[in-house]
């Protein structure tokens, strides 16, 4: 998973091979919206 905004933009988060699936755009948008409101 790659961070697409903020000070960590462009960094990649490590995952366990075979244990994760691609994140849908809708889920990703919700996650980052929540993080933005929480951490500004």
With 0.85 as the threshold, say if the pTM is over it. Answer: no
pLDDT computed for residue 11 by the predictor: 93
Sign of the alpha-carbon torsion through 25, 31, 35, 38: positive
pLDDT in tens, 1-40: 788 888 989 998 888 888 888 778 888 889 889 999 888 7
CA-wise closest residue to 36 among 2, 8, 1: 8
């Amino acid at each position: 998973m790659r961070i697409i905004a903020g000070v960590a933009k462009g960094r990649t988060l490590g995952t366990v091979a075979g244990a994760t699936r691609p994140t849908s755009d809708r889920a990703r948008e919700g996650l980052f919206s929540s993080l933005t409101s929480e951490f500004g």
